């Protein structure tokens, strides 16, 4: 600790409002009253997404407050309040006494002191943190200008990470919307049918009417793409009405290899010491957006990877599909995880043609496939779907021109996603490195700002 840093308490710089739950009969899901937060179930990557409201709020957080979980197994999780919220007893709202521009410093202090705070928490099964424990938490406090400068550095990193996250969500929405339009709603085929006056099946008439109602707002495809789509439909036994000339295939028709991982036995790992290690993926490492959380992957010895687990070695471009526990999560193996491994709850789908990887990914993410997969779940010790069931799922297939155009477009989107995710991982790693050093004075602001500027 440098000489200007003084020992103090968290209460010396922060206001802390402990939540209080409103009565149950004042709560609703109809957006009546104030948005209510009860705990981290409403937390997002940056700010909450409320699902419940109350007409009788007791305690409030303000926009810009740090929301801190104070009860149960999720004690210590944090989010930023993007608006005023009613907060239940599972949360506390925290704000720096000198204003919002100091908030990233406040969060940084709490992150660094969190292990100590959790160790002092009460509760026989799950920890509970009281207001006094927060207020009395001992901290090393730099002068106010230094607090502000540290907050600026940490806030800039957080803003860049959040911007990347939002851009990735937008890119994912674009990819899914394009695929659904072409292969779920058949918009280009309906547009062609409306233009040519061809008969539209009754089952698709509502969708056709919605397209027609758009009028000039419809965005026509380039002529060279539009003419690849037919203007009629045919009835298929497996998938109902599909565009004329398109085929119904199965997932296996696209696959060079469909397999699943193998769980490494403890004896395998314990017998291998001082070896190079490789990443080992589990379902929890894949989020709902199809991002693999590479920064927290378990590692296994290479001898185990190349021995007992050899059959489940992953390659760049493999599509992962969770088949046990939380079923239906998907992701593509990025370059940095080539030659990694996975457990038996994850199937991997290796496309026969690399050019069709992202088309196949969207097929597996589609509402039709997800619904069919969940209808085939076997309830055993753990819910699961067999590789046979996955491989036999019926999927729709268009002409090569459409598939190639779509996959080229999707490839561009996903390459941008991977780049943004890699950038965020570098920023998170830098933030984790800088945080304790900034708060202890080991690294000063000019050096930290230079390091931030150098990270893409």
Q: Per residue in 9-57, pLDDT tens?
A: 999 999 999 999 999 999 999 999 999 999 888 998 889 999 999 999 9
> Which has the closest alpha carbon to 156: 113, 114, 105, 111?
105
Q: CATH topology of 6-141 equal to that of 251-397?
A: yes
CA atoms within 13 A on the CB side of 290: 25
pLDDT classification of 290: cutoffs 50, 70, 90:
confident
For residue 382, the model assigns a pLDDT of 73
Specify the pLDDT at position 421: 87
Burial class (CB in 10 A: 0-12, 13-18, 19+), 9: middle
pLDDT per position as a tens digit, 403-436: 999 999 999 999 999 899 889 989 999 999 999 9
pLDDT category of residue 381 using cuts at 50, 70 and 90: low
- Residue 234 pLDDT more than 90? yes
**What is residue 312's predicted lDDT score, i.e. its pLDDT?**
85
96 or 312: which leads in pLDDT: 96
pLDDT value at position 332?
93
6-141 under CATH 3.10.20.740, yes or no: no
Q: What percent of the chain has pLDDT over 90?
A: 73
Q: How many Cα atoms sit within 13 Å of 373 on the Cβ side?
A: 29
Query: Per mean pLDDT, which range of 66-75, 214-223, 316-325, 405-414 is the poorest?
Result: 214-223
User: How many CB atoms sit inside 10 A of residue 295's CB?
Assistant: 11
CATH topology (fold) of 251-397:
Adenine-n6-DNA-methyltransferase TaqI; Chain A, domain 2 (3.90.220)
Per-residue confidence (pLDDT) for residue 105, from 0 to 100: 97
Structure tokens at 437: 């050093």
pLDDT band of residue 272 (cuts 50, 70, 90) is low
Over residues 229-242, mean pLDDT = 94
For residue 230, what are the CA distances in angstroms to 209, 244, 405?
18, 6, 16
The model's confidence at residue 242, banded by pLDDT at 50, 70 and 90, is: very high
| pLDDT value, residue 219 | 81
Calculate mean pLDDT across residues 325-346: 92
Tokens for 146, please give them.
């230094």
In 3D space, the residue among 387, 394, 294, 275 whose CA is nearest the CA of residue 337 turns out to be 294
Which residues in 185-297 belong to E strands, given as ranges? 233-236, 240-243, 247-250, 255-260, 277-281
The domain ranges of the chain are 6-141, 142-220+398-456, 251-397
Number of other CB atoms surrounding residue 376 within 10 Å:
16
Q: Which two tokens stand for residue 161?
A: 């990470």
| pLDDT value of residue 311 | 82
Asked if pLDDT for residue 302 goes beyond 90, the answer is no
Average pLDDT score over the chain: 91
124 pLDDT band (50/70/90 cuts)? low
d(CA 294, CA 287): 11
pLDDT score recorded for residue 229: 97
Structural tokens at position 416: 């941008």
Tokens for 405, please give them: 């155009």
Q: 396: pLDDT confidence band, cut at 50, 70 and 90?
A: very high
Number of neighbouring beta carbons within 10 Å of residue 215: 7
pLDDT of 270 > 70? The answer is no
DSSP string, 56-108: S---EE-TTPEEEE-BGGGTT-EEE-SS-EEE-TTEEEEEETT-GGGHHHHHH
- Dihedral of CA 291/293/298/304: which sign? positive
- Measure CA of the first residue to CA of the last residue in the chain; give whole Å: 30
pLDDT at 268 over 70: no
Please give the pLDDT value at position 266.
63
């Amino acid at each position: 600790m440098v000489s200007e840093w003084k020992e103090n308490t968290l209460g010396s710089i922060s206001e802390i409002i402990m939540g209080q739950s409103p009565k149950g009969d004042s709560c609703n899901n109809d957006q009546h009253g104030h948005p209510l937060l009860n705990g981290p179930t409403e937390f997002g990557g940056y700010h909450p997404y409320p699902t419940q409201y109350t007409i009788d709020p007791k305690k409030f957080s303000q926009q810009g407050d740090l929301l801190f979980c104070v009860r149960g197994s999720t004690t210590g999780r944090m989010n930023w309040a993007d608006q005023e919220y009613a907060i239940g007893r599972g949360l506390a709202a925290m704000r720096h006494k000198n204003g919002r521009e100091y908030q990233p410093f406040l969060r940084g202090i709490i992150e660094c002191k969190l292990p100590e705070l959790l160790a002092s928490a009460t509760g026989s099964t799950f920890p509970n943190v009281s207001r006094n424990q927060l207020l009395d938490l001992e901290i090393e406090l730099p002068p106010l200008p230094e607090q502000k400068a540290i907050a600026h550095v940490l806030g800039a990193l957080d803003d860049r990470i959040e911007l990347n996250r939002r851009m990735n969500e937008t890119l994912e929405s674009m990819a899914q919307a394009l695929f659904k339009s072409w292969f779920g709603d058949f918009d280009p085929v309906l547009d062609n049918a409306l233009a040519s006056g061809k008969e539209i099946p009754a089952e698709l008439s509502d969708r056709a009417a919605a397209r027609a109602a758009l009028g000039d707002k419809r965005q026509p495809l380039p002529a060279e793409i539009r003419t690849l789509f037919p203007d009629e439909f045919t009835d298929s036994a497996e998938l109902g009405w599909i565009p004329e000339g398109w085929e119904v295939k199965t997932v296996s028709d696209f696959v060079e290899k469909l397999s699943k991982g193998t769980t490494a036995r403890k004896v395998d790992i314990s017998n291998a010491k001082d070896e190079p290690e490789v990443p080992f993926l589990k379902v929890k490492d894949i989020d709902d957006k199809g991002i693999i959380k590479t920064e927290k992957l378990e590692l296994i010895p290479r001898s185990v990877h190349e021995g007992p687990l050899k059959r489940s070695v992953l390659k760049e471009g493999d599509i992962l599909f969770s088949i046990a526990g939380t079923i239906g999560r998907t992701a593509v193996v990025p370059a940095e995880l080539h030659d990694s491994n996975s457990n038996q709850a994850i199937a991997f789908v290796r496309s026969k043609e690399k050019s069709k990887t992202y088309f196949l990914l969207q097929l597996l993410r589609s509402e039709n496939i997800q619904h069919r997969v969940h209808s085939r779940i076997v309830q055993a010790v753990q819910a699961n779907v067999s590789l046979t069931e996955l491989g036999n799922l019926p999927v729709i297939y268009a002409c090569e021109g459409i598939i190639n155009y779509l996959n080229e477009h999707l490839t561009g989107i996903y390459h941008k996603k991977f780049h943004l995710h890699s950038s965020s991982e570098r920023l998170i790693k830098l933030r984790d490195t800088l945080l304790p050093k900034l708060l202890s004075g080991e690294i000063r602001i000019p050096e930290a700002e230079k390091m931030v500027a150098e990270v893409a």
